[in-house]
């Protein structure tokens, strides 16, 4: 039995009995493309075996670096964008709770972790600088090239603050660069300044990189157990290596979402009932969106946080355009629980819940929502994990990574490239006057002024 419980009972009235078995041959073929490297993007499949083949020496260095950061810093600033920050941010929130950074050091396992370089907002950077204040801090700059605009600007500004506070020599000892093994501007700077460095593997794309040093150093800085994280992913890799849809829930999920997509369900709404899973949805959206959204095809990835968003999006989900389906990420045993107390006045009419646990109330809410949305014409899939441990997170990460790889091949696209993300960059560079983009800049300025 799989560690993750996958419930597809609430798609039965939308998927005929014969449809899933008829997907088996296609799934088996997609699996062969993935495992044998015959499919598009085969150079970026190293995440498949990463949980068991990762560099043990570098893994130990990551843990030692995290221990040093916890000893000499109060804050770790992680600078990166896209896959260079979403995975780490998702994991920090998942494992430590919504208010981790607001807790006193006595209540935290590690340092406060904040993120920069994921926008071009001056206000955000100033607020982050004010948050650091005069406290001890370190920087983890994450970039394969070292020239991506958003993180490069943030690194310039925060590196200057670091040098001003500590002097250049000590500042260099507080900078950790996660970058290409041999090439790129950041690799050159790291070598010249003797930053401690970690490698972004060539065969792992950004959105699949959370279990590489890209995600592992920030996660370890919070005191999380990296060994359990990797063990969860490793066990998932073994569990999801079979092709039989009856035995592989990750492949079954991929097959069902493709069946629904071909019936016109073009939007997938990933949902949770625990607020500290909000960033998991953001990581999931990049994983799904960049992997599948190309060649004018793909399921649009969206998200909602329940029960909060039932008071804003619930009406549309219940009665809006019937082009969406839901995937709920559910935690069987959340970290905490509370009982609803008795109130003698009972003005709010809640005494019927007296003595019931809040987790039980949340569970009944989930069940009620599933039934209502199903009746309203919305297929619902549920992915349930036992708890919010490192092991569960590693397992869940791998579940979605292997599912979207199979899903992409089922849809006839390369699930490992992202050619479309470069289009806006060319225009931005041209409008900013970057050398080499003068002709395009002139044309774009004419268009803007028409």
Evaluate whether residue 342 is within a structural domain. Answer: yes
Evaluate whether residue 415 is within a structural domain. Answer: no
CATH number of domain containing 196: 3.40.50.10490
Evaluate whether residue 266 is within a structural domain. Answer: yes
Contact present, 403 and 245 (Cβ < 8 Å) = no
Token pair of 233, please?
């992913």
Evaluate whether residue 66 is within a structural domain. Answer: yes
Instruction: For residue range 11-68, list pLDDT tens digits in order.
Output: 999 999 999 999 999 999 999 999 999 999 999 999 999 999 999 999 999 999 999 9
Give the pLDDT band (50/70/90) at residue 1.
Answer: low
Task: For residues 194 and 255, state if they share a domain.
Answer: no
* 419 compared with 70, residue with greater pLDDT: 70
Q: In the predicted model, is pLDDT for residue 435 greater than 60?
A: yes
Report CA torsion sign: 173, 174, 176, 182. negative
Euclidean distance between CA atoms 413 and 258, whole angstroms: 13
Q: Note down the domain range covering 96.
A: 45-223
Task: For residues 233 and 279, state if they share a domain.
Answer: yes
Name residue, tokens 């939007």: 267
Contact present, 250 and 256 (Cβ < 8 Å) = no
Task: For residues 65 and 92, state if they share a domain.
Answer: yes
Task: For residues 216 and 239, state if they share a domain.
Answer: no
Instruction: For residue range 110-168, list pLDDT tens digits in order.
Output: 999 999 999 999 999 999 999 999 999 999 999 998 889 999 999 999 999 999 999 99
| DSSP-assigned letters across all residues of 239-252 | HTT---TTT-HHHH
405: nearest Cα among 230, 240, 197, 173: 240
Contact present, 137 and 78 (Cβ < 8 Å) = no
pTM here is: 0.95
Please identify every residue annotated as catalytic: 290, 425
Task: For residues 180 and 71, state if they share a domain.
Answer: yes
Report CA torsion sign: 187, 191, 192, 195. positive
| DSSP-assigned letters across all residues of 162-175 | HHHHH-HHHHHHTE
Task: For residues 86 and 189, state if they share a domain.
Answer: yes
365: nearest Cα among 269, 278, 272, 267: 272
Evaluate whether residue 441 is within a structural domain. Answer: no
Task: For residues 109 and 173, state if they share a domain.
Answer: yes
363: nearest Cα among 274, 249, 268, 253: 274
The number of domains in the chain is 2
Task: For residues 118 and 154, state if they share a domain.
Answer: yes
Instruction: For residue range 210-226, list pLDDT tens digits in order.
Output: 999 999 999 999 999 99
DSSP state of 388: S
Domain stop point among 173, 197, 223 = 223
108: how many CB neighbours lie within 10 A of its CB? Answer: 17
Instruction: For residue range 296-316, list pLDDT tens digits in order.
Output: 999 999 999 999 999 999 999
Euclidean distance between CA atoms 78 and 213, whole angstroms: 12
Task: For residues 216 and 263, state if they share a domain.
Answer: no
């Amino acid at each position: 039995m799989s560690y993750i419980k996958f419930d597809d009972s609430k798609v039965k009235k939308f998927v005929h009995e014969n449809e899933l078995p008829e997907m088996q041959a296609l799934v088996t073929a997609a699996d062969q493309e993935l495992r044998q490297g015959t499919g598009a993007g085969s150079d970026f499949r190293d995440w498949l075996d990463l949980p068991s083949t990762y560099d043990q020496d570098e893994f130990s260095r990551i843990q030692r670096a995290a221990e040093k950061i916890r000893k000499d810093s109060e804050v770790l600033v992680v600078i990166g964008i896209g896959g260079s920050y979403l995975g780490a941010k998702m994991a920090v929130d998942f494992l430590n709770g919504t208010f981790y950074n607001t807790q006193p050091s006595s209540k935290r396992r590690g340092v406060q972790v904040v993120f920069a370089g994921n926008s071009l907002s001056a206000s955000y950077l100033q607020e982050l600088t004010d948050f650091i204040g005069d406290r001890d801090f370190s920087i983890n700059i994450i970039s394969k090239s070292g020239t991506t605009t958003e993180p490069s600007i943030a690194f310039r500004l925060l590196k200057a603050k670091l040098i001003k506070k500590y002097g250049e020599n000590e500042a260099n000892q507080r900078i950790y660069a996660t970058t290409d093994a041999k090439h790129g501007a950041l690799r050159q700077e790291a070598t010249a300044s003797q930053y401690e460095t970690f490698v972004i593997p060539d065969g792992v794309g950004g959105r699949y990189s959370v279990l590489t040093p890209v995600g592992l150093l920030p996660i370890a800085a919070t005191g999380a157990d990296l060994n359990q994280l990797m063990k969860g992913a490793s066990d998932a890799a073994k569990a999801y290596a079979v092709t039989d849809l009856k035995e592989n829930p990750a492949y079954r999920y991929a097959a069902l979402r493709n069946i629904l997509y071909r019936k016109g369900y073009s939007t997938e709404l990933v949902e949770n009932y625990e607020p500290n899973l909000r960033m998991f949805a953001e990581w999931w959206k990049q994983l799904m969106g960049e992997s599948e959204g190309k060649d004018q095809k793909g399921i649009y990835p969206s998200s909602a946080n329940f029960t909060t968003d039932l008071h804003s999006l619930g009406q549309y989900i219940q009665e809006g355009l019937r082009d969406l389906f839901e995937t709920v990420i559910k935690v069987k045993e959340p970290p905490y629980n509370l009982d609803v107390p008795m109130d003698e006045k009972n003005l709010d009419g809640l005494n019927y819940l007296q003595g019931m646990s809040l987790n039980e109330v949340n569970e009944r809410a989930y069940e009620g929502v599933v039934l209502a949305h199903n009746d309203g014409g919305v297929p619902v899939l549920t992915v349930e994990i036992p708890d919010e441990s490192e092991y569960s997170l590693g397992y869940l990460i791998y579940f979605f990574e292997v599912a979207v790889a199979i899903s992409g091949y089922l849809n006839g696209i390369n699930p490992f490239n992202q050619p479309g993300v470069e289009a806006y960059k060319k225009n931005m560079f041209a409008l900013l006057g970057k050398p080499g983009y003068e002709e395009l800049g002139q044309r774009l300025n004419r268009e803007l002024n028409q």
